[in-house]
Structure 1
Amino acid sequence: MFTPKKSLDGLLRVYKNELRRQISKTTSVSNSDAMAPRLDQSVNKQQNEESGQPKKLLKLQKYHRYLSTLTTQEMPMATRGLAVSKDQSREFMACFPDIVRDLTETGKHMDVPEASKWLAKLLQYNVPNGKKNRGLATVLSYKMLEKPENMTPENIHLANIMGWCTEMFHTHQFLLDDVMEGSEMRRGAPCWHRRPDVGLSGVNDAVLVQSAMFSILKKYFSNKTYYKNVLETFNEMLLKSSIGHYLEKSLTVTDKPDLSQFTMAKYEAITKYKSAYYTFQMPVTLALLMTGVDDPETHRQAKTILLEMGEFFQIQDDFLDCFGDPAVTGKNGSDILDGKCTWLAVVALQRATPTQKRIMEEHYGNRTAESEAKIRDLYEELQLPHTYSVFEEATYDLLRTQIQQVTRGLPHDLFFKILDNIFKRQV
């Protein structure tokens, strides 16, 4: 039977497919009405110089007046992290020393005190110093899903502990990722494996963090009815993330990336498996389990929306890697130098002329400043900042529509809170 729900899902699919079709148009950009910048959005040069804003930001403002990803006063979650109150942030940070003590100072491994000392150093260097999006999202989701009568200090403390377990999961992921990619910096400091006392033993340290995560889960949640489902969730996320790393690495088996495999389908698969599942779905799934919600349809509806958010979050991160101001984002983008399969690279290849494709093939993934500059110039020639700004607005509207159709008692405010953090809208 043709139900209203099926009708709505069909309309959303058509809308999303049409949006992607517009982005992947291969006609000349300069002749494309859909992608031409508005002439009334030019910026006065003198005003720009007086404003003191970054030149790169000013150069791109001509593309879209409301490009929130490039507004320094309203940077999105990919740059400044999930917006929570100072009290919540302090409450969350206050739990971390307890976790370190539980793992290192409770009579465990008494015969190898140097191992406990190393674990403490490993955790303190890597776990608490990022934006903590996943951990804070776990606590936020729990507080918005739990019944008021169950919001006891003990349960709130457990939600914060669960949040730190998601942060340890993330730490395990980036420790491995940094080794595989040969990364130099992480969160403004040298990557763990770059330390002279670590090196390739950082792989074992990643496993150590993962084991510590499961140890904390056992200590605090083994007597809970949802413990089995929580363990299954973490194990499932480990598998999905490993698949994501494999998919990404399969594109760079040689010194040069295989641009023939840079398709939107491949990009979406990498994004979903490598980061969207554990960055967006996992925190809400864990909160649902902690509040006693194990209905499959409820989890399915939440998963559908959260994976869409996760995909855009990665697209936003790709854009900021190339066009963001390092003084604001806190990192120097290296996706072009590393030859990553990014949203910008995929769309550029979809729209490039044969001559432009040759530029991509010659310079993309070359670790030289000259090649990187040529790719950036090509992106601007293809008007990708404007394409992104159109995509950003349309994605925001589409996700709001999807959230409004959520049933099964899931609070819309939770998803709107996450959504508005991603897009930095009235947070």
Structure 2
Amino acid sequence: MRIVIAIVILHIFDRPGAAKILAGSKTISPAGSFRDKFVAAFDKIKKELLADCDAFQFTRESREWVSKMLDYNVPGGKLNRGLSVIDSLVLLKSEDELSRDEIEQAFALGWCIEWLQAYFLVMDDIMDDSHTRRGKPSWFKQPNVGLVAANDALLLRNHVPRILRKYFHGQLYYFDLRELFDEVEYQTACGQMLDLITSPAGKVDLSKYVMETYLRIVKFKTAFYSFYLPVACALYMSGESDNSKFESAKQILLQMGTYFQIQDDFLDCYGHPDVIGKVGTDIQDAKCSWLIVRAIERADASQKTRLENNYGKKDNACVEEVKKVYNDLGLAAAFSEYQQTSYGRILSAIDREKSTRLQGVLSLFLEKIYKRQR
């Protein structure tokens, strides 16, 4: 089954007008046949949240602040995580059509993930002192915002359970969803902690930058919420109760999350800001990225000295010196080799999955990120 799916979706994202992916008896548009309706659902959910708390009704200023904050931070990305819920659900359900209520609930779950993503990003930008996000100034860099953004991030985080309660309180899997979001948030916060203590501001210790540490950071900081969470949401909505299905999906999706983050590290250095939506700052911020870990593994004594003298410094000349070492070590070619090897390994794992419908979901996820440029 996986071979059929893979053949159908190979290169589909590069073909204008390519419309559908086959999975069993279901078809779905990878570009998002639901995208317009999903985007429209944001305004509905925002209005519900603005009417949900007396604090927002107290003054016009408070309503306008929250409304502007939500518009600025939640819907501005590619929406891949949120749309993945409805895309996955269509592939998992046995019925030919989803009911209107199910689609609305899937949209709400998708937006819960986008809300969670916005919370993480607002806090991450503050901690990293990042000036840009999604091609525009970071929220805390906006006039009259500053560290008020920290409280805005808390609002974003607390909106998630309120959305879940409104749309799923009567469902048998409601508490499963609550526990899922709580657990994923905790895993992500742990990953962020590992990242921050490995590369604390103002102090660079490249001896800490080893692959075991890097992979642990990536697993917890990125893979759980970006890859496992959308599929787990769809599995609950599809009526799945077999824990082995969740565990099987998790193991494969965590591999994809690692692959995705290594791509992200590569693009932070080699991608163009106009394409990736931000100015890469991993070198200046002394991030424990795949590139620096591989560089340390490959470097001779002289190259290690150059890295130690220049990594983590907010100076363009130092950044360029680090990039020269990367180029001398052939890290672009190393990434290309890793990308092909990882892709093949994940495909093999998908092929071993017993559920053909889950195979379809996992194949869709993999093809969305394979050789991405942003």
Q: Do the aligned partners of 1:298 and 1:410 also contact (CA within 8 Å) in 2?
A: no
Q: Which residue of 1 aligns with 2:48?
A: 102
Q: Do the aligned partners of 1:244 and 1:273 also contact (CA within 8 Å) in 2?
A: yes
The whole-number CA distance in structure 2 between the counterparts of 1:317 and 1:293 is 32
2:291 pairs, out of 323, 340, 344, with 344
Letter of the structure 2 residue corresponding to residue 376 of structure 1: K
Residues 11-54 of structure 1: CA deviation (Å, up to 9, x unaligned): xxxxxxxxxxxxxxxxxxxxxxxxxxxxxxxxxxxxxxxxxxxx
Partner SS for 1:129: coil
Q: Confirm whether residue 353 of structure 1 aligns to residue 300 of structure 2.
A: yes
Q: Which residue of 2 aligns with 1:376?
A: 323
Where structure 1 has 5 or more consecutive residues not aligned to the other structure, the ranges are 1-72, 75-82
Partner SS for 1:100: helix
Q: Do the aligned partners of 1:142 and 1:288 also contact (CA within 8 Å) in 2?
A: yes
Letter of the structure 2 residue corresponding to residue 294 of structure 1: S
Q: Confirm whether residue 262 of structure 1 aligns to residue 181 of structure 2.
A: no
The whole-number CA distance in structure 2 between the counterparts of 1:421 and 1:333 is 22
Residues 185-236 of structure 1: CA deviation (Å, up to 9, x unaligned): 1111111111222111111110111111211111111111110000000100
Partner SS for 1:337: coil
Q: Which residue of 2 aligns with 1:182?
A: 129
Partner SS for 2:283: helix
Aligned residues: 346
Q: Which residue of 1 aligns with 2:164?
A: 217
Partner SS for 2:216: helix
The whole-number CA distance in structure 1 between the counterparts of 2:347 and 2:341 is 10
1:28-43 equivalences under 5 Å are: none
What is the CA-CA distance between 1:377 and the residue it aligns to?
0.8
1:123-272 equivalences under 5 Å are: 123-148=70-95, 151-272=98-219
Higher relative contact order (CA 8 A, sep 6+): 1
Letter of the structure 2 residue corresponding to residue 181 of structure 1: D
1:388-399 equivalences under 5 Å are: 388-399=335-346
Letter of the structure 1 residue corresponding to residue 47 of structure 2: R
The whole-number CA distance in structure 1 between the counterparts of 2:279 and 2:69 is 25
Q: Do the aligned partners of 1:142 and 1:290 also contact (CA within 8 Å) in 2?
A: yes
Letter of the structure 1 residue corresponding to residue 228 of structure 2: Q
1:293 pairs, out of 240, 247, 258, with 240
Identity %: 36
What is the CA-CA distance between 1:371 and the residue it aligns to?
0.8
TM-score by length of 1: 0.78
What is the CA-CA distance between 1:372 and the residue it aligns to?
0.8
Residues 32-86 of structure 1: CA deviation (Å, up to 9, x unaligned): xxxxxxxxxxxxxxxxxxxxxxxxxxxxxxxxxxxxxxxxx79xxxxxxxx8335
Q: Do the aligned partners of 2:291 and 2:331 also contact (CA within 8 Å) in 1?
A: yes
What is the CA-CA distance between 1:328 and the residue it aligns to?
2.7
The whole-number CA distance in structure 2 between the counterparts of 1:144 and 1:294 is 17
What is the CA-CA distance between 1:405 and the residue it aligns to?
0.1
The whole-number CA distance in structure 2 between the counterparts of 1:370 and 1:175 is 29
Q: Which residue of 1 aligns with 2:63?
A: 116
The whole-number CA distance in structure 2 between the counterparts of 1:237 and 1:165 is 12
Partner SS for 1:250: helix
Task: Single out whichever of 310-319 and 108-117 deviates more from structure 2.
Answer: 108-117
Q: Which residue of 1 aligns with 2:226?
A: 279
What is the CA-CA distance between 1:167 and the residue it aligns to?
0.2
What is the CA-CA distance between 1:409 and the residue it aligns to?
5.4
The whole-number CA distance in structure 2 between the counterparts of 1:360 and 1:374 is 8
Q: Confirm whether residue 415 of structure 1 aligns to residue 362 of structure 2.
A: yes
The whole-number CA distance in structure 2 between the counterparts of 1:202 and 1:254 is 20
Structure 2 CA distance for partners of 1:305 and 1:93, relative to 1, 3 Å: same
The whole-number CA distance in structure 2 between the counterparts of 1:410 and 1:209 is 33
Over the aligned positions, Cα root-mean-square deviation in angstroms equals 1.9
Q: Do the aligned partners of 1:267 and 1:343 also contact (CA within 8 Å) in 2?
A: yes
The whole-number CA distance in structure 2 between the counterparts of 1:139 and 1:184 is 33
Q: Do the aligned partners of 1:335 and 1:342 also contact (CA within 8 Å) in 2?
A: yes
TM-score by length of 2: 0.88
Q: Do the aligned partners of 2:91 and 2:357 also contact (CA within 8 Å) in 1?
A: no
Residues 375-427 of structure 1: CA deviation (Å, up to 9, x unaligned): 111111111111111111111111110000012554312111111111159xx
What is the CA-CA distance between 1:348 and the residue it aligns to?
0.5
Letter of the structure 2 residue corresponding to residue 200 of structure 1: L
2:274 pairs, out of 314, 322, 327, with 327
The whole-number CA distance in structure 2 between the counterparts of 1:410 and 1:233 is 22
Q: Do the aligned partners of 2:139 and 2:149 also contact (CA within 8 Å) in 1?
A: yes
What is the CA-CA distance between 1:106 and the residue it aligns to?
6.0
Letter of the structure 2 residue corresponding to residue 152 of structure 1: S
What is the CA-CA distance between 1:325 and the residue it aligns to?
2.8
